Amino acid sequence: MNDFNLIRPIRLSDLDRLCEIAHQSGPGFTSLPSNRALLKAKISASETAFSLTSPDPQGDSYLFALEECQSGKLIGICGIESAVGLREPFYHYRLGTVVHASRELGVHNSFQTLYLCNDFTGYAEVCTLYLDPEYRRDNNGALLSRCRFLFMAQFRERFSDKVLAEMRGVSDSRGRSPFWNGLGQHFFSMEFSEADYLTGSGNKVFIAELMPKHSIYIHLLPESAQQVIGEVHQNTLPARKLLESEGFRYEKYIDIFDGGPTLACELKDIRAIRKSYFITVHTGPSLEHSNAYLICNTQLRNFRCTVVQIAPSEGKITLPAELCHRLLVSDGDLLRVVPLKHRS
């Protein structure tokens, strides 16, 4: 058990490494702008959220770091917004259908449309997921994504009953978005990267000021823009499949900039939340198991989560002393546990 990785709340000492990750993530990663001052503010907001004894009614931001325990290196990041759209507007396009018909001419046509909306206001959001490419193996991605669900299960009173996840849309290696080129740039008169950066920095007022207020007919967009509606960036495909295995579904809402899909689920229906349960921890020698389990402590400010190949048995789990120390638990403490992956 010397090579395990651990989820913990992010802290100010992670700022330098977070700046590196933000730069590494590239264009289109809206929630992680490459701006040191903004990233420092995000860390501060997260530290505040973890310290509050009761949640802020207008929403809190939680950021988690994935740490390689042997080196102490931050290798990934993920986040949760407890309620979006209550402090500032939260925009999406909703896909719809309009029918144009003329009985006299015998014409009946259906057209798909996009309509600017705020339908997800008040939802919790799982967001800001990024894993260093060097570590995209050994269940690190699954740990980084699913740890948030154990945290939400443990502190359900802090989150909305409905959860969304915005998926990064299609763009090329230079950050050019076919959807943006076919639609957004005509209204914003700026490059995709600039609009994306402004949104990530919290400057969203310009969206309402500049976006069209009426339905947009999809068939009038360039073919290149039509083809990427509801599609994800190639690096985001594993994250989408993981969320869908947890119960998230695409419900015809897309990002207004890159056309990426927004997935949603009832909090109570998320597999890792619905199937998680408590066990008692004991310190001692343990035998490895073929199945992986996600385990976390029950603390807020000192939340810790990891993956083990050790199966719970008869309401308890036996873990090595080093791991118990890392998880900040002692004999007799409770852990929350769930199988790491869905098994049919």
Which 3 state secondary structure label does DSSP give 296? strand
Q: How far from 80 is each of 118, 123, 143, 251, CA to CA, in Å? A: 19, 11, 15, 20
Provide the pLDDT for residue 105.
Answer: 77
* Mean pLDDT of the residues in the chain: 90
Is the CB of residue 63 less than 8 Å from the CB of residue 31? no
Q: Residue 47: is its pLDDT beyond 60?
A: yes
Express each pLDDT in 252-304 by its tens digit.
999 988 999 999 999 999 999 999 999 999 999 887 887 899 999 999 999 99
Name the pLDDT band for 201 (thresholds 50, 70, 90). low
For CA atoms 34, 259, 184, 163, the dihedral sign is: negative
Provide the pLDDT for residue 337.
Answer: 97
Rg (C-alpha) for the chain, rounded Å, is 22
Provide the pLDDT for residue 185.
Answer: 86
Name the pLDDT band for 28 (thresholds 50, 70, 90). low
Q: Is 213 exposed, middle or buried (0-12, 13-18, 19+ CB in 10 A)?
A: exposed
* Rounded distance between C-alpha atoms, residue 203 and residue 287, angstroms: 52
User: Is 219 considered catalytic here?
Assistant: no
pTM, two decimals, is 0.91
Q: Residue 1: is its pLDDT beyond 60?
A: no
Is the CB of residue 177 less than 8 Å from the CB of residue 162? no
- From 162, 228, 212, select the one nearest 28 (Cα to Cα): 228
Express each pLDDT in 144-197 by its tens digit.
999 999 999 999 999 999 999 999 899 887 778 999 999 988 887 777 777 776
Q: What is the rounded end-to-end Cα distance, in angstroms, of the chain?
A: 28
Name the pLDDT band for 319 (thresholds 50, 70, 90). very high
Catalytic residue among 23, 92, 219, 233: 233
41-45, 266-270, 293-297, 310-314 — which is least confidently predicted? 310-314
* Rounded distance between C-alpha atoms, residue 289 and residue 311, angstroms: 6
Provide the pLDDT for residue 282.
Answer: 94
Please give the structure tokens belonging to residue 312: 């719970």
Q: Residue 199: is its pLDDT beyond 90?
A: no
Name the pLDDT band for 126 (thresholds 50, 70, 90). very high
Provide the pLDDT for residue 24.
Answer: 85
- Over the range 67-101, which residues count as b (16 or more CB within 10 Å of their CB) and which as e? bbbeeeebbbbbbbbbbbbbeeebbbbbbeeeeee
Provide the pLDDT for residue 211.
Answer: 79
What's the DSSP call for residue 165? E
Helix axes 140-154, 237-245, angle to 10 degrees: 40
Our CA dihedral for 47, 51, 54, 58, rounded to 10 degrees, sits at: -20
Q: Residue 61: is its pLDDT beyond 60?
A: yes
